Structure 1
Amino acid sequence: RKDVLSKMAWDKAKVQEKIELLSSEMTMVHKASQIFGWSNEVVQLAQENISTVINVLKTESVFSDLNFLLRNKKNIKLISHTMILTLMLTDMIKRLSWESNRSIEKLTFAAIMHDLSLDEELFAEKQTLLMVNDISILKSTSEGNRLLNHPTQAADIVASWPMCPSEVDTIIRQHHERPDGQGFPEELPAFKISPLAALFIMCEDLIYEVFVSSECDLKKHLSEKQGYYSREPFVGIYGTLMEVLEKINGPVSF
């Protein structure tokens, strides 16, 4: 492990290799939390792993490899998807000129922790359940209720962590809110959603579009949502994200 995590080894590793190695480490944390709960030891282990993710991924530029990363079936699991999301978020905040070490820390913490109250099975069903687009129907099933509650559960977990940056719990709590005010858990109007959470929501939108579509053109998908993302703080992110996708050639497909 020391050789794998040395600076020289990380510098030589390709992005996909980094995702797999980091995912393997964080998967152990996830399993430990399911067995022992979020004990002080498990929290410390999680924070150490998140610090490693920040140091390894913060300098990566992901969008040139996005088609490959998204269609790689290794990356559709719960933990590996958080690494793709982290890469997208840290790349985007540089392009939006929001870059700061603190913003990178906040988004990385939020990306890695936002779904950790789910198990692999429910994560696999997550986007299909969300396509129901009717909260009352989701509330009628145990799986739906678990899904609706997971942002609050994950936010409450990290809020008590001593080294967790401020606003991380807000980003996690808001990551299923929507610009039309029809999200959950609080059905917030767009103007009450934090800018970092808005960026998080838009990047996850692209990731999940690929997960549920056998063939998906991300540029086309986002262009069709121009009206949907026309409110602040989403509209300020939309143009930059579209510019990035303009540079990606060809559809994304499994």
Structure 2
Amino acid sequence: MWLFAMTGAAFATDATVLEGEAARSGLKTGSIFSSRDSIHLDEGEHLVIYLQRGEMLTLEGPHDGPLPVDGAGGGDPDEVSMVSILVGHRGTTSTVGAFEATPATGAPAEPEARPNAWAVDVAEAGTSCIDGELRLFRADATREEHVTARNPLVAPVALDWPAGAHTLAVPEGLLSAGYVNIDRGERTLRFTVRRLPDDRDVSEPGKLLRWFAEMGCESQASVLIGRMVAE
């Protein structure tokens, strides 16, 4: 069950703590709350906050009162709850740091930074958000791999993944069914594709995170959160 940190009136939750702590307000990384809530930050405390409307805010202590933003309190509880869950688990999943078990040994490979949040970890099947093409990512690029991409509408295509290459583009025609199956060794992974609409504004990280959250692209959202916090 999600716990909504509120003080005063019970406004709709529209904010998520991406990083930091406000001990006296009971807020920490992963907390969700209303931007209309009164927040207390002691000297030395800070919060990096994601607002449901797609904005980012860093708040430094000392501070007493609501967030210094206009037009607060709207919010979709389902969306901010998903972001909260991703933030809470991002340190324990392979989506941040991009550890991947090597097919040969099962041992974790050394972490390799993804080029950006659009790159989809080949080890994590699920819903994938794309802007033009589906680009797969692997942390361990020490050896050549041969994978097969297929969907029911077109013939399977064998793809060579050269040693040293961390990413691999999947041909556009293989996404015609809205998903693609990738045969990698003895595993078959399905990637359901969500395309970025031409009229959707994702020019800022917070806006891109909002779209990832709406589409259920959890792995990519976690990667983006890690980058947003690190900046």
* TM > 0.5: no
TM-score calculated relative to the size of structure 2: 0.30
Which has more radius of gyration?
2
**Counting helix residues as a fraction of each chain, which structure ranks higher?**
1
**Counting strand residues as a fraction of each chain, which structure ranks higher?**
2
TM-score calculated relative to the size of structure 1: 0.28
